[in-house]
Amino acid sequence: MESAAVRNPAVPEALAEATRHQPRASFALAAALSSPGHAYLFRGPRGSGKAAAARAFAAELLAEGVADPGDARRRALLDPSPHPDLVWLRPPGAQHLVEDVREQVIRASSLSPAEGMRRVFVIEEAEDLRDESQNALLKTLEEPAPFAHLILVCSEPEQLAETIISRCAPIEFGPLAPDAVLDALGAGADADAAARLSGGDVELARLLTDDRGVALRAIAETAARAPRSGSQVAEPWRELLAAASEAGEAAGAEEERRLLEEAEVTARRGRKGKLTREAIEQVRRTERRARTQALDLGLALCCDWYRDLAAIASGARDVVLNTDRRDELAEDAEGLDPARARTAVEWVLDTRRRLRVNVSEELALEALWLRLSATLAPEV
């Protein structure tokens, strides 16, 4: 686990703040400022501060060689940033659009800076680049313009082609320690459990403490306990699917509202704005992405439950993640062979991997719970 970094006076203030729990990344980026490279891969788990560090690093690159570095730095640190030499690309849905990568990064990286010495291009969630986008980026990474700097922010580097990874200088981020996450959340029994369940991801920890996260966690717990409780519910995984669908619909509705507001602003003479075909497809991508993420989180919570069952059954109560559910875990773990709980963890992990390659959700979940029931059912 990374610990909080001691303030290094050689590290600019904004960069030091963004990397205060990432000492290794902090010193690597401070060193990089003396002779910046043209491509970086900020890699590490979600919620570890990669995006904030990328923004602070980009601000320092853009502040060099301009008449008012403080103003350039301030504008670059804003989100969204009005700085003309900072391009920040996020996926509009499940994946980055190939056209966006070509227009906003590849072609734009050949244009001279508008203000200073450099242009910076940040691709957030780079693991969501399609193969076609990654192939298109190769030439830019191999032969960048002398003023262009690319930063790829990635939580799952295994999704990137080795040719992409090999052309980027790695900046490593570790998961935040539970104490660091808890410090961001505040006190409380639910906060302690959320900090442990988040795996060092502050945003996930915050989600687990709001109404949506609390509800999803309760649904996942009920589904995970069904094989041990003798529940008469035939398909306990149905509620997980319903919660994922609800999350997707909510995200899609919010994206549609945002796009309609943009259309209204650009509509002439007060005519009502309408969504274009591309905007409608973007709403659908957003909905699919949110649905997939919610379902994966629900399964991850089930996985954590079985991991804790194995710990309790082995007599290791101190290492459980669901610290506010120890009594329930003890009830489920009574008479359970820890090896069976570990097998359940493997089944859930395998299903999560399979769902990433577009297998049928219903079939995959039905098969999973049949296996879990056979593995975890109390012995008669």
Q: Give strand ranges (E) for the chain.
A: 39-43, 86-89, 119-123, 148-154, 169-172
322-366 residue pLDDT tens: 999 999 999 999 999 999 999 999 999 999 988 887 779 999 999
Residues 6+ apart with CB under 8 A from 353: none
DSSP class of residue 144?
-
Please say if the pLDDT value at position 2 is more than 50.
Answer: no
Tell me what the mean pLDDT of segment 92-117 comes to: 90
CA–CA gap between residue 221 and residue 208 (Å, rounded):
13
201-228 residue pLDDT tens: 888 998 999 999 999 999 999 999 999 9
Here the tokens at position 252 are 């899609």
DSSP character string of 73-115 = HHHHHSSS---TTEEEE--SSSS--HHHIIIIIIIGGGSPPSS
Share of the chain above pLDDT 90, in %: 68
Q: Considering only residues 6 and 10, tell me which one the structure prediction assigns the higher pLDDT.
A: 10
Tell me what the mean pLDDT of segment 294-304 comes to: 96
Tell me what the mean pLDDT of segment 250-274 comes to: 71
CA–CA gap between residue 361 and residue 241 (Å, rounded):
8
Residues 6+ apart with CB under 8 A from 34: none
Please say if the pLDDT value at position 194 is more than 70.
Answer: yes
Direct distance between the N- and C-terminal alpha carbons of the chain, in angstroms, rounded to an integer: 43
> Which of the four pLDDT bands, split at 50, 70 and 90, describes residue 267?
low
Q: How far is CA 320 from CA 134, 197, 209, 315, 378, in A?
A: 40, 9, 18, 10, 22
Please say if the pLDDT value at position 270 is more than 80.
Answer: no
**Strand partners for 30:** none
* 8 A C-beta contact, residue 54 and residue 65: no
Tell me what the mean pLDDT of segment 248-271 comes to: 75
> Which of the four pLDDT bands, split at 50, 70 and 90, describes residue 4?
very low
The whole-chain average pLDDT of the chain stands at 89
* 8 A C-beta contact, residue 89 and residue 45: no
Count of residues in the chain: 380
CA–CA gap between residue 283 and residue 251 (Å, rounded):
8
Residues 6+ apart with CB under 8 A from 244: 291, 292, 294, 295, 298
Using alpha carbons, select from 192, 152, 203 the residue that is nearest to residue 41. Answer: 152
Please say if the pLDDT value at position 271 is more than 60.
Answer: no
> Which of the four pLDDT bands, split at 50, 70 and 90, describes residue 3?
very low
CA–CA gap between residue 135 and residue 129 (Å, rounded):
10
Here the tokens at position 213 are 């996260």
Provide the pLDDT for residue 69. 95
CA–CA gap between residue 197 and residue 292 (Å, rounded):
19
Residues 6+ apart with CB under 8 A from 109: 119, 121, 140, 144, 145, 148, 150
* 8 A C-beta contact, residue 47 and residue 33: no
Provide the pLDDT for residue 156. 87
24-74 residue pLDDT tens: 999 999 999 999 999 999 999 888 899 999 999 999 999 998 999 999 999
Provide the pLDDT for residue 233. 67
- pTM across the whole model: 0.71
Q: Which residue carries 């905007």 as its tokens?
A: 279
List domains and CATH numbers for the chain.
13-175 (3.40.50.300), 210-376 (no CATH)
